[in-house]
């Protein structure tokens, strides 16, 4: 594999046994000569991880069909859903600029512990890397970067004590949705990093899925509104 640019440098996933899901073929949601959008499965790295045995990832699998694809943004290994890939360096620059200019909107569906009281609202808490516990992030009002997440409750299950919620990250900090939900008192179900470990271990995966993405096409500027099915 050719060297990845800075935006695609290997990810850091220390102290995690990497067991990627079987390769059952690409789930391609959209593609043309400029870009590819795939549905990444949970448990698969977006880019190669550090160390041996972590070469299998979404970008390497995509390259088996689209040899010129490059990473534009990432999803956490445990998160599934829509991932945008560029075809060639020129398109990578164009698409990266759209993300940096916040011209890309993303929506996620999550299953969280507890019954959320508010139907609609936002979590506005600054985030910073928790260096002693990397790759964890944490809320820090003194040194954290501004981070904003909007939410809308989709349903509440009183029997299980869980809420299905639509999340829209306005900013794009690492682990933003996971930390914001934890800070609001409603950690995402199945999260291997945040929340009660004994409770979370009972779930087969992190219940967080990137289900919608909207962005202007990097060449035509036509609005692309892409969706994929939530697997839980």
Q: Which residues contact 166 (CB under 8 A, 6 or more apart)?
A: 107, 108, 109, 151, 152, 153, 154
Strands 208-216 and 80-87 come out as: parallel
Give the model confidence (pLDDT) of 175-203 as tens digits: 999 999 999 999 999 998 997 888 888 89
In this prediction, the residues of the chain whose per-residue pLDDT falls under 70 are: 1-16
The pLDDT score that the predictor gives to residue 7 is 37
Give pLDDT, residue 115. Answer: 98
pLDDT digits 0-9 by tens, 85-95: 999 999 999 99
For position 197, what pLDDT does the model report? 81
Q: Are 144 and 128 in contact (CB under 8 A)?
A: yes
Q: Is 56 a catalytic residue?
A: no
Question: Which of these is catalytic: 23, 56, 76, 191?
Answer: 76
DSSP letter (8 states) at residue 122: E
CATH of 6-101, one of 3.30.2020.10, 3.30.2350.10, 3.30.465.10, 3.40.50.2300: 3.30.2350.10
Pairing of strands 105-113, 80-87: unpaired
Question: For residue 79, what pLDDT is reported?
Answer: 98
Residue 51 has what pLDDT? 84
Domain boundaries, the chain: 6-101, 107-208
CATH class of the region 107-208: alpha beta
């Amino acid at each position: 594999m050719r060297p990845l640019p800075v935006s695609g440098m290997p990810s850091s996933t220390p102290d995690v046994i990497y067991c990627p899901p079987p390769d059952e073929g690409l789930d391609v949601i959209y593609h043309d000569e400029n870009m590819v959008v795939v549905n990444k499965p949970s448990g698969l790295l977006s880019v190669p991880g550090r160390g041996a045995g972590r070469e299998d990832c979404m970008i390497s699998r995509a390259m088996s069909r689209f040899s010129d694809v490059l990473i534009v943004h990432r999803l956490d290994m445990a998160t599934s859903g829509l991932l945008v890939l560029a075809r060639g360096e020129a398109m990578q620059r164009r698409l990266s600029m759209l993300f940096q200019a916040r011209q890309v909107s993303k929506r996620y569906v999550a299953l969280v512990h507890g019954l959320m009281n508010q139907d609609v609202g936002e979590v506005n808490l600054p985030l910073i890397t928790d260096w002693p516990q990397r790759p964890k992030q944490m809320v820090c009002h003194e040194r954290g970067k501004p981070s904003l997440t909007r939410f809308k409750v989709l349903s509440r299950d009183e029997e299980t004590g869980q809420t299905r919620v639509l999340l829209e990250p306005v900013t794009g900090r690492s682990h933003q949705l996971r930390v914001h939900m934890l800070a609001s008192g409603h950690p995402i179900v199945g999260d291997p990093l945040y929340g009660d470990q004994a409770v979370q271990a009972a779930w087969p995966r992190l219940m967080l899925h990137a289900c919608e993405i909207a962005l202007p096409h990097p060449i035509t500027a036509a609005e692309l509104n892409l969706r994929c099915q939530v697997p839980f």
